[in-house]
Structure 1
Amino acid sequence: MRAIEFSEYGPPSVLHVAEVEEPQAGPGEIRIAVRASGISSGETYIRSGRLRELVPVTFPYRTGFDAAGVVDQVRGGVTGVRVGDEVFGMTSTTARAANADFAVLTGWAPKPPTWTWEEAGGAAGSVETSTRVLDRLAVKEGQTVLVQGAAGAVGTVAIQLAAARGARVIGTASERNHDFLRELGAEPASYGEGLIDRVRALVPGGVDAVFDCAGGSLPDLIAIAGDAARVVTIADFDAAAHGVHMSHSAPAEETGTSLGAGADSLAFHGLETAVGLAAEGRLHVPVAAAFPLEEAAAAHELSETRHARGKIVLLH
């Protein structure tokens, strides 16, 4: 089968399509024939070597951790799914390798019929991450949440999941994306210098929680929240120096001492919540662009611009 991998750190051009053996599902797992899979900014950092001190890599490294497709293997201990079902989900944090013709999933849910394959292929990672952080922040009805970097793959989903919990959502993005954020259910604010004053103008009483999807602004975000404990980041590797929790799901052996071993539990329960919201028309997965599997390098190039509005996916 075809799989995207790289055998050395470097620019997107180090990515290539390799012919490899098909993976086999183990106990408690399923395998899918992949129709679409996601690209994540985190993996562009890994590929470039930016995280080489934090995330050890054994070459060749196969990319991708969320995908959607048709079930073709169901192993022992699995119930509620059959060969031929359409699902979306995630690989294990150690195996990854979802950017391939076949992928083994450890967490999954039925593909909502209202979602295209492109939407489903890029959904699971954003849903799981958003659910994990919103759970840690204990976001609930009546609260106000600030999502920093709200127009990206995770931010766009976080807005909708927070709104579904009954929260008021403020989302930061460039002005060109403000109407887009309003469509998703957020009140927009421009990021950058003056952010504290702009948020306070919208929410004089302050916010209850901050979900940082962008990185680089923790002092301002702490000031907005009033307490570092009310801020969670998925993008700022200096989080510990500010007393902020950085949420990740990588196992201890992957994270090294700089990130620490404090991985959060995977929030796979969010996938079922997403299915219900999608059925009600309350959760959409904005897709910034879709590339053929063979053009994974171009997909990584777009991701590295940090200007993609929504999720970038590969079509198989």
Structure 2
Amino acid sequence: MTTKAVRYNEFGGIDVLRIDEVERPEPGREQVLVRVKAAGINPSEAVIRTGALVDMFPSAFPSGQGSDLAGVIEEVGAGVGGFSPDDEVIGFSNNRAAQAELVLVEVGDLVHKPEHVSWAVAGGLYVVGVTAWGAVNSVHLEPGDTVVISGAAGGVGSLAVQLAHRTGATVIGLASEDNHEWLRSHGVLPVAYGDGVGDRIRTAAPGGVDAFIDTYGSGYVELALALGVATERIDTIADYAAAAKYGVKTDGGSEAGPGAEILAELARLIADGQLELPIANSYPLTQVREAYTELERRHTRGKIVLTP
């Protein structure tokens, strides 16, 4: 029996992506086979696909793609406890395999999906959620602090501004005008990016800026330093060259802590209405190229997901 999965046979642009018929996976010990309802896509996957990070993320071809997923358990392997066929779950794949109809997941990388979390949100939650959690924790926010977050309406940014707001800090979100009302509705002070952004931040924060979280790159580390933010309270998830040059943090992802525990807490906050992950668009698996075309424009609010 075969099933569909996203694959590519060489490094390159969006045009190397294809949908292959592959053998149905069989769960091994402590593995679970999940029928995917939604799988998120992320900028890091697009960079890995180009080969730009081959030293950090070597690839064996044909390569799959994707980490985020949510779906229904189809089958469980030996030694699996706490999960059964037909359970609705959220999880992640460390094997770049989530963008597929059926995915093998280690049982420790799964949590139960709360009833009031949609499939699209669940399927797009892991990477951006854990990254936002790690980035916010890394700058040690306290009530009364002021933090600036670039890319404030993007996948990571849209969660980071909300998590930062929950600490009691004043949150300034850098985003296009189209996203300002959404930011205001989540307790964030919006500031337009572009020429003059430093002056606009100084006007919005007359008492100064205590911390800076960069989810976008393109000079924001330098801007944070120019605003007088201490290096230990600057975190970038997008500009590793600047981080190495200036000694700022690059926390997010695995540095945040156990992924499944954080994923479960984020899902609970969403189910309780205390957190929102905006879904910019959903595409069928067969339109994976169109999904990444939209993603790489870098103007989406929240997440784009694939629906196998």
Same fold (TM over 0.5): yes
Deviates more, 1:302-311 or 1:138-147: 138-147
Distance 1:240 1:176, change over 3 A: same
**Residue identity matched to 2:70:** A
Structure 2 equivalent of residue 290 of structure 1: 282
- Does 1:237 find its partner at 2:229? no
Cα pair 1:145 1:169 within 8 Å, conserved? yes
**Residue identity matched to 1:135:** N
CA shift at 1:123, angstroms? 1.1
Q: In structure 2, how many angstroms separate the alpha carbons of the residues matched to 1:165 and 1:6?
A: 42
Structure 2 equivalent of residue 63 of structure 1: 65
Distance 1:104 1:205, change over 3 A: farther
**Residue identity matched to 1:243:** G
CA shift at 1:40, angstroms? 0.6
Where structure 2 has 5 or more consecutive residues not aligned to the other structure, the ranges are none
Structure 1, residues 224-252: CA drift from partner, whole Å, max 9, x if none? 352111111111131211212223658xx
Equivalences for 1:44-59 in 2 at 5 Å? 44-59=46-61
Cα pair 1:147 1:170 within 8 Å, conserved? yes
Using the size of structure 2 for normalisation, the TM-score is 0.89
Q: In structure 2, how many angstroms separate the alpha carbons of the residues matched to 1:77 and 1:164?
A: 39
Where structure 1 has 5 or more consecutive residues not aligned to the other structure, the ranges are 251-262
Cα pair 2:7 2:65 within 8 Å, conserved? yes
Cα pair 1:128 1:266 within 8 Å, conserved? no
Match of 1:301 among 289, 293, 300: 293
- Aligned residue pairs total 302
Q: In structure 2, how many angstroms separate the alpha carbons of the residues matched to 1:45 and 1:194?
A: 29
Distance 1:14 1:181, change over 3 A: same
- Does 1:101 find its partner at 2:101? yes
Equivalences for 1:212-223 in 2 at 5 Å? 212-217=214-219, 218-223=221-226
Q: In structure 2, how many angstroms separate the alpha carbons of the residues matched to 1:173 and 1:286?
A: 15
Cα pair 1:210 1:225 within 8 Å, conserved? no
CA shift at 1:75, angstroms? 4.3
SS at match of 1:191: coil
Structure 1 equivalent of residue 229 of structure 2: 226
Structure 1, residues 88-111: CA drift from partner, whole Å, max 9, x if none? 12112xx12100111233423222
- Does 1:313 find its partner at 2:305? yes
Distance 1:120 1:195, change over 3 A: same
Aligned-pair identity (%)? 38
SS at match of 2:199: helix
**Residue identity matched to 2:156:** V
Cα pair 1:189 1:199 within 8 Å, conserved? yes
Structure 2 equivalent of residue 72 of structure 1: 74
Using the size of structure 1 for normalisation, the TM-score is 0.87
Structure 1, residues 249-299: CA drift from partner, whole Å, max 9, x if none? 58xxxxxxxxxxxx6655432212212212321112111111100000111
Equivalences for 1:111-190 in 2 at 5 Å? 111-190=113-192
Structure 1, residues 194-242: CA drift from partner, whole Å, max 9, x if none? 2222222222222332211100121102233521111111111312112
Over the aligned positions, Cα root-mean-square deviation in angstroms equals 2.2
Cα pair 1:69 1:88 within 8 Å, conserved? yes
CA shift at 1:186, angstroms? 1.5
Cα pair 1:156 1:184 within 8 Å, conserved? no
Deviates more, 1:128-137 or 1:241-250: 241-250
CA shift at 1:121, angstroms? 1.0
Q: In structure 2, how many angstroms separate the alpha carbons of the residues matched to 1:159 and 1:268?
A: 21
Q: In structure 1, how many angstroms separate the alpha carbons of the residues matched to 2:137 and 2:33?
A: 28
SS at match of 2:287: helix
Q: In structure 2, how many angstroms separate the alpha carbons of the residues matched to 1:288 and 1:215?
A: 21
Cα pair 1:128 1:268 within 8 Å, conserved? no
Distance 1:132 1:267, change over 3 A: farther
**Residue identity matched to 1:156:** S
Q: In structure 2, how many angstroms separate the alpha carbons of the residues matched to 1:39 and 1:46?
A: 12
Q: In structure 2, how many angstroms separate the alpha carbons of the residues matched to 1:24 and 1:298?
A: 30
Cα pair 2:137 2:256 within 8 Å, conserved? no
Cα pair 1:225 1:231 within 8 Å, conserved? no
SS at match of 2:293: helix
Structure 2 equivalent of residue 260 of structure 1: none
Cα pair 1:37 1:67 within 8 Å, conserved? yes
Cα pair 1:37 1:98 within 8 Å, conserved? yes
